[in-house]
Amino acid sequence: EAELYIKYKGVYLSKSMNPPQSLKYFEDFTLGPDDIIIATYPKSGTHWMQHIVGLVLNGGDPTSVDTVHNWKRAPWLEQTSMIAFNLEERPSPRVFSTHFHHNMMPLSFFDVNPKVIYVMRNPKDVFTSYFHFHEAPFLVKPGSSSEFLHKFLNGKVSYGSWFDHVKSWLNAENKQHIMYISYEELSADLKASVAKVAEFLEKRLDDEVMEKIAEKCLFENMKENKIFHSEVVSKYLDHTKFFRKGVVGDWKNLLAAEEAEHFDAVYTDKMKDVEYTFVWD
């Protein structure tokens, strides 16, 4: 088990997803002021936001999201596969994704302050989604859900502690360039969320275009999108693992009452200094 993970800047990472050469690549990466970064703890709605941002930037034209995989349109800066793409030469604005904590960003990030969209989700649902996602061959077998719960609450999972992740981004020094949004807000009102993203990215879009984008980003429509069924993806994991249920509150089907209580107690303790009001509180 230990062999599959490394500890980097105090955070557990999967060796196969984040080998030394991709960490070096990430550390040396030169971000520019026009770059857009989608930052998330895993399973918080990354693919969803990548899709929304792609459509918002091209004015609702579905061609790009139907023909170019999210992994290429909004590559994760810290993952191996990215070294193969020529990231520097993409047209502006370049969109990147990251699962890294705020304090792990490369030096250039703090120089140029690119726009960041930080998506967060009820950690009990993140836990649930992550548990199911651990069927992926590049992750350690999760064990039973209660074993995985122990690891999750202690940050002994790929990308570390959910609590540390969220706190790092909420406590960022320079918050003017960060937009915070939650999975639950996307779920409750997708069109309003599209509007919020468009405004943040300074894209003027007609009402009907935003309507179309929201429609395109519905769970079923994304799940059916052939681009996610491609060979490159299914080699790692079948697409249903990225589009599993897509609902709020699925933790109730996994956590026993006493586990949920324990989760809440840990949450209350770890989040006690955080002033942000989360939609799930």
Question: Per-residue x/- marks for ligand A3P, 215-244, CB under 6 A?
Answer: --xxx--x-------------------xxx
Using CB under 6 A, which of 15, 69, 90, 132 touches ligand A3P? 132
User: What would the 3-class secondary structure string for the chain be?
Assistant: CHHHEEEECCEEEECCCCCHHHHHHHHHCCCCCCCEEEEECCCCCHHHHHHHHHHHHCCCCCHHHHHCCHHHHCCECCCHHHHHCCHHHCCCCCEEEECCCHHHCCHHHHHHCCEEEEEECCHHHHHHHHHHHCCCCCCCCCCCHHHHHHHHHCCCCCCCCHHHHHHHHHCCCCHHHEEEEEHHHHHHCHHHHHHHHHHHCCCCCCHHHHHHHHHHCCHHHHHHCHHHHCHHHHHHCCHHHCCCCCCCCHHHHCCCHHHHHHHHHHHHHHCCCCCCCCCCC
Asked if 183 and 122 count as a contact pair (C-beta separation under 8 A), the reply is: yes
The answer to whether 165 and 98 have CB atoms below 8 angstroms apart is: no
Rounded to the nearest whole angstrom, what is the least distance from the CB of residue 28 to ligand A3P in the complex?
A: 26
Q: Report, in Å, the least distance between residue 234 CB and ligand A3P.
A: 16
CB of 26 vs ligand A3P, minimal distance in Å: 19
Q: Does 95 bind ligand A3P (CB under 6 A)?
A: no
44 is a site residue for ligand A3P (CB under 6 A):
yes
Minimum distance of ligand A3P from residue 44's CB (angstroms)? 5
Query: Which of 37, 38, 43, 117 touches ligand A3P (CB under 6 A)?
Result: 43
Kindly state whether residue 48 participates in binding ligand A3P, applying the rule CB under 6 A: yes
Nearer to ligand A3P, 243 or 280 (CB): 243
- Quote the least distance from Cβ 71 to ligand A3P, whole Å: 11
Of the residues 99, 101, 165, 239, only one is catalytic, namely 99
Give min distance, CB of 167 to ligand A3P, in A: 19
Q: Which stretch binds ligand A3P (CB under 6 A): 24-32, 36-44, 159-167, 196-204?
A: 36-44
Dihedral, CA atoms, 151, 42, 239, 224, nearest 10 degrees? 140
Q: Which stretch binds ligand A3P (CB under 6 A): 42-50, 157-165, 230-238, 253-261?
A: 42-50
Known catalytic residue: 99?
Answer: yes
Q: Which of 129, 161, 168, 193 binds ligand A3P (CB under 6 A)?
A: 129
The answer to the question of residue 278 lying near ligand A3P (CB under 6 A) is no
How many of the chain's residues bind ligand A3P (CB under 6 A)?
A: 21
Inter-residue contact 261 to 252 (CB < 8 Å): no
Footprint of ligand A3P on this chain (CB under 6 A)?
40, 42-48, 125, 129, 132, 217-219, 222, 242-246, 250
Q: What amino acid positions are annotated as catalytic residues?
A: 99
